[in-house]
């Protein structure tokens, strides 16, 4: 082979080698481009998923609150009052056991089984109102709830009604999350102490199963919490009211389970729900307070 042919062959081999290297480089570049496209698709899918999740979250926050009419709240609250009555009558049915309660009640309080049950219901209702219904917001210590109530007034005075409703909703949702969080003791502050307190006061006068008795009372309290939260996010201003002993009986905001409905309030058995009227500026009863009225004569001992 001549030198010219050898040089030509060598040159051809170089070209083949360069072509192979170029093909390999092109192949790698294509692989990189394909990988980049796949990564871009994955990033796009992830981005789209994040957008969809964000839109879903925004939508959940902007869904209008379900508003109830006053009749609905009246039915809910009166239903819980009746349920509490049933609880008392079921678990404090034994009149002999119940008679022992008379020894710790104020002198002059009627000493009949019916009046003892009225006393028990009034005691539970007072704790429910003080710890659940009567708080500006449920789920935090009373002093903080009171501060939120003051803040709500400023929001009401400086913002639109729509903004106020969103503020109420956001606050109630945040407090419900807070109350359910394992690191907080919000549940310990309210429901459980009420149940254990009532058990400590009245268990000795009952012959029913302790676990059943405590669970049923806890269920009633839990339902009251749901009503309180629903009331907090409604349009307009609402408040619960429980009268102290000796308050003058007012038939426009109360009804009595006493024998004749005369006299002053002896015991408050279930709080009233009042709503501020936009027309008159007066508080009007959505649900009248359930009370037991007593005349001076009725305060004398009564033997069944």
Q: Give whichever of 8-17, 20-29, 255-264, 266-275 has the largest mean pLDDT.
A: 266-275
In contact, 293 and 264? CB cutoff 8 Å: yes
The answer as to whether 168 is a domain residue is yes
The answer as to whether 52 is a domain residue is no
Other Cβ atoms less than 10 A from the Cβ of 258: the count is 19
Give residue 207's domain range: 70-299
Between β-strands 283-287 and 254-256, what pairing exists: parallel, antiparallel or unpaired?
Answer: unpaired
Q: Per-residue pLDDT tens for 1-19?
A: 566 666 655 666 666 676 6
3-state secondary structure of 222: helix
- At 66, the pLDDT band (50, 70, 90 cuts) reads low
Which carries the bigger pLDDT value, residue 106 or residue 207?
207
The answer as to whether 229 is a domain residue is yes
Q: How far is CA 64 from the centre of its chain?
A: 18
Sign (positive or negative) of CA dihedral 7, 13, 15, 21: negative
pLDDT for residue 146 is more than 80:
no
The answer as to whether 7 is a domain residue is no
- At 76, the pLDDT band (50, 70, 90 cuts) reads very high
In contact, 172 and 135? CB cutoff 8 Å: no
Q: Per-residue pLDDT tens for 35-44?
A: 767 766 666 6
The answer as to whether 40 is a domain residue is no
The answer as to whether 237 is a domain residue is yes
- At 124, the pLDDT band (50, 70, 90 cuts) reads very high
Between β-strands 254-256 and 289-294, what pairing exists: parallel, antiparallel or unpaired?
Answer: parallel
The answer as to whether 204 is a domain residue is yes
The answer as to whether 54 is a domain residue is no
Given this model, what pLDDT does residue 13 score? 66
Q: Give whichever of 12-21, 49-58, 101-110, 169-178 has the largest mean pLDDT.
A: 101-110
Domain count, the chain: 1
């Amino acid at each position: 082979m001549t030198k010219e042919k050898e040089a030509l062959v060598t040159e051809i081999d170089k070209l083949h080698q360069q072509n192979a290297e170029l093909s390999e480089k092109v192949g790698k570049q294509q692989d990189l481009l394909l990988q980049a496209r796949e990564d871009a698709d994955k990033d796009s899918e992830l981005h789209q998923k994040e957008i969809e999740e964000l839109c879903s979250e925004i939508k959940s926050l902007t869904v209008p609150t379900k508003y109830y009419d006053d009749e609905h709240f009246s039915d809910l609250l009166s239903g819980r009052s009746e349920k509490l009555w049933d609880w008392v009558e079921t678990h404090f049915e034994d009149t002999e056991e119940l008679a022992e309660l008379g020894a710790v009640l104020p002198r002059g309080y009627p000493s009949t089984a019916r009046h003892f049950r009225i006393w028990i219901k009034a005691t539970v209702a007072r704790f429910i109102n003080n710890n659940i219904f009567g708080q500006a917001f449920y789920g935090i210590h009373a002093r903080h709830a009171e501060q939120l109530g003051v803040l709500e007034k400023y929001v009401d005075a400086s913002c639109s009604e729509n903004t106020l409703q969103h503020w109420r909703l956001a606050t109630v949702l945040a407090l419900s999350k807070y109350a359910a969080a394992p690191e907080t003791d919000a549940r310990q502050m309210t429901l459980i102490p009420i149940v254990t307190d009532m058990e400590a006061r009245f268990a000795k006068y009952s012959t029913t199963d302790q676990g059943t008795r405590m669970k049923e009372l806890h269920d009633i309290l839990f339902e009251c919490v749901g009503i309180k939260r629903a009331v907090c996010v409604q349009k307009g201003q609402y408040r619960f009211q429980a009268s102290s002993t000796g308050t003058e009986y007012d038939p426009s905001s109360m009804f009595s389970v006493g024998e004749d409905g005369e006299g002053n309030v002896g015991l408050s058995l279930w709080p009233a729900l009042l709503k501020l009227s936009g027309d008159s500026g007066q508080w009007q009863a959505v649900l009248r307070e359930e009370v037991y009225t007593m005349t001076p004569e009725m305060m004398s001992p009564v033997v069944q």
